[in-house]
Amino acid sequence: MSVELISANHAAALGATLAGRANRTARGFCSGVYPITPTTECMEYLCGQEIEKGKVVRVDSEHSAMGVCIGASSAGARSFTATSSNGLAYMLENCVAAASYRLPIVMAVSNRTLGPPWNIWADHGDSLLLRDLGWLQFYCADNQEVFDTVLCAFKLAEDPRVLMPAISCMDGFILSHTMAQVEIPGQKLVDRFLPTTKVPHRLNKSAHTLGQLEIPQQAVAHRTQHHQAMLAAVQVYAEIQDSFEEIFGRRVADPVVAYHADDADTLIVSMGTIGTTAERVVDQLREQGQRVGSIRVRMFRPMPENDLRKYFAGTKRIAVLDRNISLGYGGVLWGEIRGFSDPDAIVQGYMVGVAGGDVRREHIINLLTDLQQCKTESAPKIVEVA
């Protein structure tokens, strides 16, 4: 175990490197990569690593990058890629395939606003494009979490009860380019945590087809299996947390990170780095005697519904902060979780920090003031971040 001062992009790449090396006694590691701001550092770092029985393929596009990952994973290799924004959009068609092939590919996404108009800053709209495709999704809040989540994502994705791709998200620049200390375990510990990759349906000596034509009944059966595996991932993740703690001596963050939530009458719900700002607001308002708490949704797919229902029980006012906008509806997170609260609770949606605004404590305090004044729930509001 060593402590390194590295950026979150590099932390993700380092996680993938250690995971890749851990598969050296099996089918190795293979990754297709293509650069895009703000993920470029991640793929650059990966390209610079020596991985025994590993290959990082620099391709012509994100679509091809995922193509390489699909090929590698269906041949039984451990596979990883990283992208952002429109790169992810371009990759999307192969992302659908990767999920439906049930391939345990892991991807790091530095969240960035989808263009045009061009904007390189943080917005969750890009990774949310994958919401309904059958990818596991995590949103991280600090460098350590990015590193840990990549390792856990491999273990979760490759679990025979789950077996599907996973993404680990970090807010572009705010996290991707921030350097901080990260505890890095040695290879031996990672080997213990991550057994070799086993893709049971991998292409082998006997010929078979992946993703062939299906009649409606077959398709429904496969979708159902995928859905059930996704739901099962919540419990599998809990087991992984235990295993992680046993091997690395510290516990990886929960699917839902709660902060002073148990006795709160008002909750701030968010994803990504806004969650840590919310926690600082909680500290500030708690000092003033207000019973405020924060809920950070770290695991977005599968949605940890039970955890959220538990924290929402008895809470009267909930502000849901979305760094995204589902046009014609409102924030995606708000739309997903508003049904989990008590029937008489006000669950107000706020879209804040959309397209990269620097969300500060004052912004959140302003929207909490607005929430206290709400008599009923109203249409989601956009919070201007100057």
Q: How far is the CB of 215 from another protein (least distance, A)?
A: 44
- Would you say 31 or 110 has its CB closer to another protein? 110
Q: How far is the CB of 92 from another protein (least distance, A)?
A: 25
> Measured at the alpha carbon of residue 114, what is the angle toward residues 111 and 119, in degrees to the nearest 5?
85
- Would you say 108 or 257 has its CB closer to another protein? 257
- Would you say 69 or 257 has its CB closer to another protein? 257
CA distance 12 to 189: 17
- Would you say 283 or 305 has its CB closer to another protein? 283
Q: How far is the CB of 214 from another protein (least distance, A)?
A: 42
**Alpha helices in 214-360, H assignment, sequence order:** 216-248, 274-287, 305-312, 332-337
Do the beta carbons of residue 129 and residue 89 sit within 8 Å? yes
Tokens linked to 235 = 């419990």
Q: How far is the CB of 83 from another protein (least distance, A)?
A: 17
CA distance 322 to 271: 7
CA distance 7 to 45: 11
Report how far apart, in Å, the C-alpha atoms of 105 and of each of 39, 90, 162, 175, 322 are. 17, 17, 12, 22, 27
Do the beta carbons of residue 255 and residue 309 sit within 8 Å? no
- Would you say 147 or 259 has its CB closer to another protein? 259
Residues near another protein (CB under 8 A): 1, 3, 5, 38, 120-121, 141-142, 144, 171, 173-175, 177-181, 250-251, 253-254, 257-259, 261-262, 273, 276-277, 279-280, 330, 350, 358-363, 366-367, 369-370, 378-386
Q: How far is the CB of 224 from another protein (least distance, A)?
A: 33
- Would you say 230 or 333 has its CB closer to another protein? 333
Q: How far is the CB of 296 from another protein (least distance, A)?
A: 11
